[in-house]
Amino acid sequence: MQVITWILGLGASVMMPIIFTIIGTCVGLGFVKSLKSGLTVGVAFVGLSIVTTLLTDNLGPVINKIVELYGLNLNVLDIGWPAASQVAYSSQVGALVIPFGLALNVVMLLTKTTKTIAMDLFNYWHYAFIGALVYLVTNSFGWSLFIVAVNFIIINCIGDIESKRVLAYYGHDKVNGIAFPVPVCAPYAPIAHALNWLMEKCPGINKIDWDAKKLQEKLGFIGEPLFLGTVIGAVLGILARYDVTSILKLAVNIGAVMLLIPRISGLFGEGLLPITEAVKKLLQKKFKGKVDFLIGLSPSIVVGDPTIMVCSVLVVPFILFLSVVLPGNQFLPIASLAGAMYIFPLVVPITKGNVFRTFVIGMVALVIGDYSATALAAVFTKAAVASGVTLPDGTNAVASFDYAGNPLAWILYNLGALKWIGAAVCVVGCAALMWYNRRKIVAENAVREQALASATAGV
């Protein structure tokens, strides 16, 4: 356990190379190739961290200035996901979340209620976070661990269900054999399905098709994320009443982020592809090709998608305005906006890259996030103080969009607080989801077995 805690403390840029080097070596890729793949993934995380810091360093001051100029002050301070992860791993359930999650994953694989090996250990903190909040309200380790299990089951089933759309949209060269059972993005898939269906039924709206790639083809440079990021950066600078020099610097920096993130995300695919292929070959050999296993990874490998990048920046000014006028909302997302891109990895395969629909879904997700973060602010603040987070002077309430602003986190927290009634709802919901997912997996396996039998008979 101490070894696991030590590895987690190294951060994703060091932890993931260690994990993937070990995995690659164990599945027969060879130490040298595994090390190269692991280091490539580590470099990608470093690059993503640098560019995200660039985005945060530029967005933070301009948003704060806009807040100050237009009196957008609200009572709940956004302290970002690092504080939420500290709350998670400082809790009792945080110490067990990784071995518990891996054990539960094995059980689901054996019972064919998932086909995804959940290897994104870094993001397991999301499960521990909601478990920590439930522990505070119930004072029960058992109930908190139960909610962790429910969260894990739901997220992994969603990752499975959406995997075919993910592969069809992003392509074999990026996500072959990969799924995204990650709490930061998976809960938005059901919302995206509902809103996408609704927009498809609305006359006029169903004709709007802003495809990021098509826009680039039609508009040339004007339609590229680099140009759009530069323009949005300039607009934010003007709203903040920056001088000309500062506006130009902000514009170029936001444009740079829009250009660099897709380039960096390509490194994830380059590093992960050899390992995922080796794991798949080993599993296919062991199960004689009868099961199509997936590797669950961070959506960082696809955040460079043009639609994701454009929508991630477009939502910023709109959600700042809405956060102020929404009745009952007390949360202003500032620190969390740099991570808005993680709303969209499972959304864009559903909208098929339609910028308009993705933007609308993103705005709905952020509005829901405002209310969820507001509702969980009291217990989040209590948990943050208990974990050693120092609140800024004059701050009485804190939250973050990730994971307190996630609709699933709010639902599970309230179900956990209800104890037995909530448990009944969770059991029924998870049983239905696992049954549906198992039916799909069994049917897919039957098709594969039939294809293999036909191929063997042909030989």
Please report the DSSP string for 225-263 in residue order: HHHHHHHHHHHHHHHTT--HHHHHHHHHHHHHHHHHHHH
Contact 171, 353 (CB under 8 A): no
Sign of the Cα torsion 133, 134, 139, 140 reads negative
| pLDDT tens figures, 105-140 | 989 998 999 999 888 877 888 999 999 999 999 999
- Sorted by where each begins, the domain ranges of the chain are 2-458
Q: Cα separation of 331 and 160, whole Å?
A: 33
CA-to-CA dists, residue 254 to 230, 232, 245, 304, 431, angstroms: 6, 8, 14, 14, 45
**What are the tens digits of pLDDT across the range 27-44?**
778 888 888 888 887 887
Sequence-separated (6 or more) residues with CB below 8 Å from residue 74: 323, 324, 329, 330, 331, 332
Distance between CA 64 and CA 72 in Å, rounded? 9
- Percent of the chain whose predicted confidence (pLDDT) is above 90: 39
pTM of the model: 0.81
pLDDT at 10 over 70: no
What phi and psi, each to the nearest 5 degrees, are found at residue 116? Answer: -110, 130
Q: Is 294 helix (H, G, I), strand (E, B) or coil?
A: strand
User: What's residue 17's pLDDT?
Assistant: 82
Are 197 and 351 in contact by the 8 Å Cβ rule? The answer is no
Using one digit for the tens of pLDDT, what is the confidence trace for 399-456? Answer: 989 889 999 999 999 999 998 999 999 999 999 999 999 999 998 888 877 776 676 6
Which pair of structure tokens corresponds to residue 195? 């809103």
As a whole number of angstroms, the distance between CA 10 and CA 91 comes to 19
Q: Which of 60-74, 185-199, 231-245, 402-416 has the lowest mean pLDDT?
A: 60-74
Mean pLDDT of the chain: 84
pLDDT confidence band for 209 (50 / 70 / 90): confident
Are the beta carbons of 338 and 56 closer than 8 angstroms? yes
Question: What is the C-alpha to C-alpha distance for residues 355 and 348, in angstroms, rounded to an integer?
Answer: 8
Q: Is the pLDDT of residue 329 over 90?
A: yes
- Which tokens sit at 225? 């994320």
Give pLDDT, residue 57: 77
Using CA atoms, how far apart are residues 53 and 257, in angstroms rounded to an integer?
Answer: 10
Whether 207 shows a pLDDT value over 70: the answer reads: yes
Cβ(181)–Cβ(203) under 8 Å?
Answer: no
For 236-281, the pLDDT digits (tens) are 899 889 999 999 999 998 888 777 876 776 677 677 778 777 776 7
Map residue 31 onto helix, strand or coil. Answer: helix
CA proximity to 48, closest of 251, 199, 271, 202: 271
